[in-house]
Amino acid sequence: MASRCYALIFPQSWSRRARLRPSCSAVGDAEYIIASDASALISRTQNVVYLKDGELVHLTAKGFSITTLEQEDVSPVVDKITWAIKDSDRGDYAHFMEKEIFEQPTALENSMRGRFSEDGSTANFGGLNLTASELRQIDRFMFCACGTAWHACLVTEHLIERFARLPVEVDYASEFRYRNSPLDRNTLFFVLSQSGETIDTLAALREAKRKGYRVLAINNVVGSTIAREADGGIYQHVGPEIGVASTKAFTSQLLLGAMLALYIARLRDMSFSDGVLYVNALKGAPALVRDALKQAAHIKGIAKRFAHHTDFLFLGRLSLFPLALEGALKLKEISYIHAEGYRPPR
């Protein structure tokens, strides 16, 4: 096969959707491709080299090399993309967002697989790299994220406070580094990001690490910048999310937030029997989502009935308030119709 090169360098500062990786180059058979996201390459190769900010790739028909802007050589590290090719094929669906909505039950099963204890009373997250006794020292949580992932943090706040009885603060990642948020020694800092590349979330992670905190990440894309820089974390395992509006990644973040609340609660005051009830409820979630998806035709009818309205209000209390915010965000993003999420007045 003749050698071919496609070049598209995508510095992070050019990326309007900050979830794009600065750039990654793929190593195939006798061809080298440069792209901004691994999902563009998966049909050609599974071997990728992720470039860091400030690195240059030199491509010729014979191969490639990487240097810094100062011309120092960088040894390329080849990573393997673990998704199947079918994950980045939209099949019979009209678009990726529709496909990913229907993938939710499987995505939830994948997020929870192997993460419940054998006695069925709690969750296990070895990737946090924290022992039970270290976790017992934690007396406060701080979560940072943007957009949909921020909404998932707000639900997690509610669940940890309710079940583990520990205070939680949620900050918008783009604000965190401009405030001087007091974090004490026993605060555990989490960032949430589907892509693991959102620049404000990454900046919040770096600021918290600069202050000496242990930072954990809930993240979907294996090997993303956030995953690499965090001290540990939880992978979502929902496969690539190609649709611009987050769907299956959001429901998986809610599930993992609920599992984290359970894990912490069981290290503290939650009883074995309450833990078993909680685990069984979570295990039932994919079937409930499957049932909800069977309503698709009915929901389409409702959408047609209301599509001519110009303003929508989504209402929700407690953990449903962040879902109201998320519903409004989805409507705005997808239909460009004005929408707001509100707490009902007391």
Residues engaged in binding ligand F6R (CB under 6 A): 19, 146-149, 193-195, 198, 201, 245-246, 329, 333
Nearest to ligand F6R of 48, 191 (CB atom): 191
Residues with Cβ within 8 Å of 101's Cβ and at least 6 positions away in sequence, in order, are: 247, 248, 293
| CB-neighbour burial class of residue 155 (10 A; exposed 0-12, middle 13-18, buried 19+) | buried
> Cβ of residue 179: shortest distance to ligand F6R, in angstroms?
19
> Cβ of residue 312: shortest distance to ligand F6R, in angstroms?
16
> Cβ of residue 248: shortest distance to ligand F6R, in angstroms?
11
> Cβ of residue 329: shortest distance to ligand F6R, in angstroms?
6
Residues 250, 189: Cα–Cα separation, whole Å: 20
The crossing angle, in degrees rounded to 10, of helices 147-159 and 248-267 is 30
Radius of gyration in angstroms for the set of CA atoms belonging to the chain, rounded to a whole number: 21
At 275, which amino acid appears?
G
In the bound state, the residue with its beta carbon closest to ligand F6R is 147
> Cβ of residue 209: shortest distance to ligand F6R, in angstroms?
17
Nearest to ligand F6R of 181, 198 (CB atom): 198
Other C-beta atoms lying within 10 Å of the C-beta of residue 4: 11
Nearest to ligand F6R of 122, 246 (CB atom): 246
Nearest to ligand F6R of 111, 194 (CB atom): 194
Tokens of 202: 């990454």
**94, 98, 100, 105: CA torsion to nearest 10:** -120
Nearest to ligand F6R of 181, 236 (CB atom): 236
> Cβ of residue 195: shortest distance to ligand F6R, in angstroms?
3
> Cβ of residue 296: shortest distance to ligand F6R, in angstroms?
19
Cα–Cα distances (Å) from 62 to 29, 59, 67, in that order, read 11, 8, 17
The H-assigned helical ranges of the chain are 96-102, 104-112, 132-137, 147-159, 173-176, 199-210, 225-229, 248-267, 272-283, 285-293, 296-306, 320-335
Nearest to ligand F6R of 333, 340 (CB atom): 333
DSSP labels, 7-40: -----GGG-SSTTS-S-EEEE-SSEEEEESSGGG
Contact 257, 236 (CB under 8 A): no
Which of the 8 DSSP states describes residue 345?
A: P
Integer distance in angstroms from the first to the last C-alpha of the chain?
69
> Cβ of residue 246: shortest distance to ligand F6R, in angstroms?
4
Q: Of 337, 266, 264, 281, which is closest to residue 306 (Cα–Cα)?
A: 337
> Cβ of residue 332: shortest distance to ligand F6R, in angstroms?
10
Nearest to ligand F6R of 285, 329 (CB atom): 329
Nearest to ligand F6R of 59, 337 (CB atom): 337
Tokens of 113: 């697989």
Strand-pair partners of 143: 170, 190
Nearest to ligand F6R of 148, 181 (CB atom): 148
Residues 28, 24: Cα–Cα separation, whole Å: 13
